[in-house]
Amino acid sequence: MPEAAALAPNCPTILNLSTDVIEVLDLRDKLLGEPGTIISDATVTARVLDFEPMDPIAGIPDPITLSADGGGNPNGDYRGTIPATATLTVGQRFRAIFTALDSGNTLTITTDGVVVE
């Protein structure tokens, strides 16, 4: 399928263990050039895996569904919650694989070495 979107460079993140939020910020369709049109109605999921080996992390659903921000999602922001039962620790590195589906197009982005804050 054609690549129809791109993620902003400042995402994805785990904010910290007190909030357990994983997010994609500023999801945009960049097929027509920069800066791209904000995608406010995509279906976004994330897989959170150990960095090495690439196994699911205990206590985290596989995948996590990220919901669009409220108010019509004018910024293309999507957030999901990592359960408090997840076995994440501050400083731990993991891999996050994000998939966004929009109007029949799919974009998958893998981030390596994301660190829990």
* Residue 30 CB burial class (10 angstroms; 0-12, 13-18, ≥19): middle
CB atoms within 10 A of CB 64: 19
pLDDT-derived band of residue 19, with 50, 70 and 90 as boundaries?
low
pLDDT-derived band of residue 11, with 50, 70 and 90 as boundaries?
very low
Residue 54: predicted pLDDT:
83
Cα angle vertex 83, ends 67, 27, to 5°?
Answer: 25
pLDDT average, residue stretch 1-16: 40
Q: pLDDT by residue (tens digit) across 69-114?
A: 876 778 888 988 888 888 777 777 788 888 988 877 777 777 776 6
Specify whether the backbone of 17 is left (phi greater than 0), alpha (psi in -120 to 50) or beta: alpha
Query: What structural domains does the chain harbor?
Result: 13-115 (2.60.40)
Q: Taking 60 as the threshold, does the pLDDT of residue 5 lie above it?
A: no
Cα angle vertex 116, ends 47, 41, to 5°?
Answer: 45
Please tell me the distance from the alpha carbon of residue 70 to that of residue 113, in angstroms, as a whole number: 29
Q: pLDDT by residue (tens digit) across 54-80?
A: 888 888 899 999 998 876 778 888 988
Identify any residues that bridge with 47 across adjacent strands, giving them in sequence order.
97
Residue 44: predicted pLDDT:
92
Scored b (16 or more CB within 10 A) or e, 68-103 reads bbeeebeebbbbbebeeebebeeeeebbbbbbbbbe
